[in-house]
Amino acid sequence: EPEVTQTPSHQVTQMGQEVILRCVPISNHLYFYWYRQILGQKVEFLVSFYNNEISEKSEIFDDQFSVERPDGSNFTLKIRSTKLEDSAMYFCASRVGLSSGNTIYFGEGSWLTVV
Amino acid sequence: GENVEQHPSTLSVQEGDSAVIKCTYSDSASNYFPWYKQELGKRPQLIINIRSNVGEKKDQRIAVTLNKTAKHFSLHITETQPEDSAVYFCAARSRSGTYKYIFGTGTRLKVLA
């Protein structure tokens, strides 16, 4: 069964450093998402991406965050200058499309620790 | 704004008993309600979903009910087993915007053997 894959699985970074989290969505999917889950808390929406542009973002997704689809397969989340409160599990997700697929499929997550 | 409330935050049941988790959503445009099970350190896994044109759906020991008027939906697990122990999240998908999911705060279910 196709899966959303994410790298790295775990990254430790110094506060103020830039971090790039990578995702490979399921190949025929058109909608891509990043969600965040702080330890012990709920899964929070960050951003959605469709047709090579951001289609929606939450208030969490400020100027420190950016997303990119640099080629036909990868989807990246960049945090420009990490803060302690950015420590969380970051999930990438993808979905087929509007008419045929309601379900979003999550990757295994990238656990980011900012020290 | 869009919000999903989920109760209880923790639930302990004896093996074989039933467990019920309840969610309430605020966005009346929501039309799809998935439930996810998340084991420690793992990704959320879809276990069941329901669309707004259906009142109830069942899959073996798991069932979901939806009351659109009250904007409530619930997860029912019967004959619980220790492997059902996990955190369960409800979510509501809005029909507006980019169809993002808004998640509930999660319920930690412990099934006691």
List, for residues B84-96, the tens digit of each pLDDT value.
999 999 999 877 6
Task: Report the DSSP pairing between strands A110-114 and A10-13.
Answer: parallel
pLDDT on residue B97: 64
pLDDT of residue B1: 65
- Residues in chain B closer than 8 A to A55 (CB atoms): 97-98
Tokens (6 digits) for B60:
């073996």
Q: Which pLDDT belongs to residue A98?
A: 62
Residue B54, pLDDT score: 85
| Pick from A68, A83, A61: nearest CA to A13 | A83
The average pLDDT across B73-98 equals 91
Question: Is beta strand B107-112 parallel, antiparallel or unpaired with respect to B10-14?
Answer: parallel
Give the pLDDT score at B85: 97
Q: Report how far residue B54's alpha carbon sits from residue A71's, in angstroms, rounded to the nearest whole number.
A: 40
Contacts of B44 in chain A (CB under 8 A): 43, 91, 106
Per the CB < 8 Å rule, is B98 touching A44? no
Picking from B45, B91, B98, the nearest residue to A48 by CB comes out as B98
Using an 8 Å CB-CB cutoff, list chain B residues near A97.
none
Contacts of B103 in chain A (CB under 8 A): 42-45
- How does DSSP classify residue B82? G
Tens of pLDDT, residue by residue, chain A (115 residues): 779 999 999 999 999 999 999 999 998 888 999 999 999 888 999 999 998 899 999 999 999 999 999 887 899 999 999 999 999 999 999 988 765 557 889 999 999 999 9
- The Cα–Cα gap between B63 and B60 comes to 8
Whole-angstrom Cα distance, residue B80 to residue B89? Answer: 17
Contact B93 A102 (CB under 8 A): yes
**Ramachandran region of residue A44, left (φ > 0), alpha (ψ -120 to 50) or beta?**
beta
Q: Do A41 and B105 touch (CB under 8 A)?
A: yes
Rounded to the nearest angstrom, the minimum Cα separation between A81 and chain B is 25
Please tell me the distance in Å from A10's CA to the nearest CA on chain B.
11
CA–CA separation, A93 and B90 (whole Å): 16
Tell which of B42, B99, B102, B107 to mutate to test the A interface (max A CBs under 10 Å). B99
CA separation, residue A73 to residues A24, A30, A65, A68, A76 (Å) = 6, 11, 20, 11, 10
Angstrom distances, CA of residue A20 to CA of A76, A115, B1, B52: 7, 16, 30, 38
The per-residue pLDDT of chain B, averaged, comes to 92
In the predicted structure, residue B63 carries a pLDDT above the cut 90: yes
pLDDT at B65 over 70: yes
Q: Which pLDDT belongs to residue B83?
A: 95
Decide if B106 and A109 are in contact by the 8 Å CB cutoff: no
Average pLDDT, integer, range B79-104: 89
pLDDT of B33 strictly over 80: yes
User: Could you tell me the strand order of the sheet in which B4-7 lies?
Assistant: B4-7, B19-25, B72-77, B62-67, B56-59
